[in-house]
Amino acid sequence: MSARLVQYRLLWQAAHAQAHPRAQAILWSVIVILTVAVTALMGAVHGAQVAAGWALSTPAGGLLFAWTMAFIPSALGLNHPANAQLVPGMRRRLIELALLVWFAAIGLLAAGLQLIPDASHLVLPWAMAMTLGVATLMAGVGAGVVLMLPFFFPFLSTGWQAWLRDAATQPGVMPLLATGMAILAVPVVWTLFPSGGERHWAMLEHRTLMMDGSGKGGFLAGLKPYVPQRLRQRRPSAQGTPGALLLRALGPDLFALTAWGSLGAALAFAGITWHLRGTPAAGDPAPIWLISGSFILCFPLLAAAVPAMLVRTRGEQALVRLAPLSPIDPARFNKLLARTMLRQGLAIWAWISAATLLLAFAGGVRGMELVWQACVCCMTLPALAVVLRDHAHMPRLGALFYGLAAVGLGCIGPIAGVVGFKWLGLSWWSVAMVTALMLTAVLVRHRWRLMCAAPIAFPAGRLD
């Protein structure tokens, strides 16, 4: 193996080790499991050619996701000016490695999409723009949002929809657009790794401001400055109940953030509906399904945010342990904490589900389609189990891994529905719903017992 390849391997391992010591094993295990499952399902439903396309596209999508959310944020820490001075040439090797991984994943995705007849022409440029845009935003370069904006315009204008559809079907347009995005990727990635100096410290300052001053990338912490103070206050804490006291130590008020976010989504939906009034696109369900799908996805991500943020409030957790209202017995304390977490999680799920159904109803969804929407909301319930765990021995996992686990649990019901429909001839909705509800009951019961038998949860992670 050449010296350059050895350097690439060491930098790849060092970047992922900052996220978690076993990050690579987790990453490749998730990619392999998803690839096998998706390929088998698509092959059974659509045939060998589509299965081959998904066999290439699925690992490419997983690699792009890991590149954006895990590798780039950690690699930015490796590019600290002190490290760059101690290890000559490391900055250039990081840039080369980032570009090589991105180009490899994009090439694999392009090859897979060629084998999927129904794949949209805009998937490849959308993936290229989103990964580059999100990576620049996470690095503290606000200009990265410019890369993503064009792909939101089709939902705002009939003219943009027709123009993009026509342009995407013209011969040579998509290869030209993909080539342009690939050329643009080089200066974008180069910008992510400045050679020390004022640019590095400016990016670091922007990242710190975006992460609520913690520098740890806390999930949803960046929304805190935009939430009114009245919503951030936990009013039940004035009652002096033990459960309300524990809520103070769980981090930001996720229920208030959910309520505030749903208000913003409702305003966005109203704005889109008003903009499209009187046009042929007024009956297009795409904006409705886009907002509804985003709402449904919020619950697993919010459930994953609880254990991810719990380790950031250890000081307050220590004070809660000393409060007269806190139970001293570990089993009673953990039982009270588990009940409080589940109550908060169920309240968030109920709010998100209600908001999803109301938005769908306002958008013209009626009858069985509205019932199916409610069923999809119920399929996310297994994510509740993520908040129940041995918090005293909590491993140092990032929000990314908790989010993958929560979303993965929410996908088990739909996957079981496909299996039951394809091989057993059963109703997809019935199998998916029953599987999701049974899985929720089994996982919550099992992890409830695990949490009650564990050492006292606060401060979280002290026994790691």
Judgement on whether residues 65 and 153 belong to the same structural domain of the protein: yes
| Nearest residue to 245 via CA among 460, 464, 458 | 458
Q: What percent of the chain lies above the pLDDT cut of 70?
A: 72
DSSP 3-state percent helix, strand, coil across the chain (nearest 5)? 80, 0, 20
With a cut of 60, say whether residue 16 has pLDDT above it: yes
Task: State whether 173 and 294 are in the same domain.
Answer: no
* Cα angle value 54/58/63 (rounded, 5°): 155
The reply to whether 176 and 215 lie within a common domain is: no
In the predicted model, what is the mean pLDDT of residues 451-464? 82
* 261 in the same domain as 239: yes
41 with 94, same domain? Answer: yes
pLDDT for position 47: 82
pTM equals: 0.62
375-404 pLDDT, tens digit per residue, is 889 999 999 999 898 888 876 666 667 777
Last residue of a domain, one of 206, 230, 261: 206
For 78, left (φ over 0), alpha (ψ -120 to 50), or beta? Answer: alpha
Whether the pLDDT of residue 437 is over 90: the answer is yes
Lowest mean pLDDT: which of 18-22, 37-41, 118-122, 352-356? 18-22
pLDDT of residue 440: 94
pLDDT attached to residue 164: 62
Which of 277, 280, 137, 107 lies closest to 207 in space, CA to CA? 137
The most confident of 20-24, 155-159, 215-219, by mean pLDDT: 20-24
Could you tell me the sign of the dihedral formed by the alpha carbons of 317, 318, 322, 326, in that order? positive
Contacts of 99 (CB under 8 A, 6+ apart): 185, 186, 189
Q: For 322-359, write each residue's pLDDT tens digit.
A: 777 677 777 888 888 899 889 989 999 999 888 888 87
Q: Which pLDDT band, with edges at 50, 70 and 90, does 234 fall under? A: very low
User: HEC string of 375-403?
Assistant: HHHHCCHHHHHHHCCCHHHCCCCCHHHHH
Residue 73's identity, in one-letter code, is P
Contact yes or no for 276/285 (Cβ under 8 A): no
Residues 233 and 112 in one domain: no
Q: What is the pLDDT of residue 438?
A: 94
Residues 182 and 250 in one domain: no
Is the domain of 171 the same as that of 58? yes
Among 206, 232, 256, the domain-final residue is: 206
Considering its fold, how many domains does the chain have in total? 2
H/E run at residue 229: helix 229-232
What pLDDT score was predicted for residue 346?
Answer: 92
443 pLDDT more than 90: yes
| DSSP string for residues in 298-355 | HHHHHHHHHHHHHGGGHHHHHHHHHSTTS-SSHHHHHHHHHHHHHHHHHHHHHHHHHH
> DSSP characters for 116-171?
-TT--TTHHHHHHHHHHHHHHHHTT-GGGHHHHGGGTGGGT-HHHHHHHHHHHHST
What mean pLDDT do residues 227-240 have? Answer: 45
Whether 159 and 231 share a structural domain: no
CA distance 106 to 124: 8
Per the structure, the complete domain to which residue 122 belongs is given by 1-206
Residue 417 CB neighbours (<10 A): 23
The residue among 37 and 243 whose pLDDT is bigger is 37
Residue 270's pLDDT is what? Answer: 67
Task: Tell me, yes or no, whether 307 and 442 share the same domain.
Answer: yes
Q: Which value, to the nearest 10 degrees, does the dihedral of the CA atoms of residues 195, 201, 202, 204 take? A: 110
Selected residue with higher pLDDT from 364 and 43: 43
Residue that wins the pLDDT comparison between 289 and 190:
190
Which of 31-40, 81-90, 119-128, 221-230 is the least confident region?
Answer: 221-230
The mean pLDDT value of the chain amounts to: 76
pLDDT digits (tens, 9 = 90+) for 250-276: 777 788 778 877 777 677 666 666 665
Residue with tokens 């499952």: 37
Same domain, yes or no: 152 and 260: no
Helix (H, G, I), strand (E, B) or coil at 278: coil
Query: Tell me, what's the pLDDT at 224?
Result: 47
What was the pLDDT predicted at 92?
Answer: 82
Cis peptide before 459 (omega within 30 of 0): yes
Boundary (domain end) residue, out of 184, 206, 228 = 206
Predicted confidence (pLDDT) at residue 90 exceeds the cutoff of 70: yes
397-429 pLDDT, tens digit per residue, is: 666 677 778 888 888 888 888 888 888 888 888
pLDDT of residue 169: 67
pLDDT value, residue 225:
46
pLDDT of 394: 74
| pLDDT tens, position by position, 93-149 | 888 889 999 999 999 998 998 888 877 777 888 888 888 888 887 776 666 667 766
252 and 398 fall within a common domain: yes
- pLDDT over 90 for what percent of the chain? 10
CA–CA separation, 189 and 49 (whole Å)? 34
Higher pLDDT: 91 or 226? It is 91
The average pLDDT across 32-39 equals: 86
Interacting residues of 241 by C-beta distance below 8 A, sequence separation 6+ = 325
